[in-house]
Structure 1
Amino acid sequence: MVIAMTGFHPLQIRVVKMNKPFISLCPEVTRAHALTLMDWLEDERVTCYLSDSRDVSRTLEHAIDRTQLPILTHLFNRGGRFFMAYDRYDDPVGFVRLIKTGSECEIVLAIGDSEKWGRNLGARTIREGMKMAFLDMRAKKLIAKIHPDNARSLKAFLRSGFKLESETPTLKSFSMTAGRYLKLLREGAVDDATRIYITEIDKARLESLIALEQGPVVVELEHELERAVVVNPQQVASNVVTMNSRALLQLDGEEMEVALVYPEDADSDAGKYSVSSDIGAAILGYQEGDAINWRISDRTRRIEIRKVLYQPEAAGDFHL
Structure 2
Amino acid sequence: MQTIADEMAGRTLTELDHVRLEALLRRGAHLASPALVNQLLDDADLLPSRQIGADVVTMNSQVQLADPQDGGRRTLTLCYPADADAEAGRVSVFSPLGAALLGCRVGDLARWQTPYGEPLMAQILAILYQPEASGDYTL
Same fold by TM-score, threshold 0.5 exceeded? Answer: yes
Whole-angstrom CA distance in 2 between matches of 1:193 and 1:205: 18
Alpha-carbon offset, residue 250 of structure 1:
1.6
Contact 2:63 2:77 in 1 (8 A): yes
Contact 1:258 1:272 in 2 (8 A): yes
Going from structure 1 to structure 2, the CA distance change for 1:228 and 1:300 (only over 3 Å counts) comes to: same
Contact 2:8 2:40 in 1 (8 A): no
Contact 2:84 2:92 in 1 (8 A): yes
Q: Is 1:286 aligned to residue 104 of structure 2?
A: yes
Contact 1:291 1:303 in 2 (8 A): yes
Alpha-carbon offset, residue 293 of structure 1:
2.6
Whole-angstrom CA distance in 1 between matches of 2:46 and 2:87: 31
Greater relative contact order (Cα < 8 A, sep 6+): 2
Whole-angstrom CA distance in 1 between matches of 2:91 and 2:130: 15
1:238 alignment partner, one of 54, 59, 62: 54
Q: Is 1:200 aligned to residue 15 of structure 2?
A: yes
Aligned partner of 1:249 in structure 2 is 65
Q: Which amino acid aligns with 1:261?
A: C
Aligned partner of 2:130 in structure 1 is 311
Alpha-carbon offset, residue 213 of structure 1:
2.7
Alpha-carbon offset, residue 289 of structure 1:
0.6
Give CA-to-partner distance per residue, 1:90-118, whole Å, 9 cap, x none: xxxxxxxxxxxxxxxxxxxxxxxxxxxxx
Whole-angstrom CA distance in 2 between matches of 1:316 and 1:217: 31
Contact 1:217 1:276 in 2 (8 A): yes
The size of the alignment, in residue pairs, is 135
Give the superposed CA RMSD.
1.9
Alpha-carbon offset, residue 230 of structure 1:
0.3
Whole-angstrom CA distance in 1 between matches of 2:113 and 2:31: 14
1:228 alignment partner, one of 37, 40, 44: 44
Alignment of 1:97-116 (within 5 A): none
5+ residue gaps, structure 2, are none
Alignment of 1:8-19 (within 5 A): none
Whole-angstrom CA distance in 2 between matches of 1:285 and 1:203: 11
Aligned partner of 1:150 in structure 2 is none
Secondary structure of 1:308's aligned partner: strand
Alpha-carbon offset, residue 319 of structure 1:
2.5
Alpha-carbon offset, residue 223 of structure 1:
0.9
TM-score (ref. length: structure 1):
0.40
Q: Is 1:269 aligned to residue 87 of structure 2?
A: yes
| Bigger CA radius of gyration | 1
Going from structure 1 to structure 2, the CA distance change for 1:270 and 1:214 (only over 3 Å counts) comes to: closer
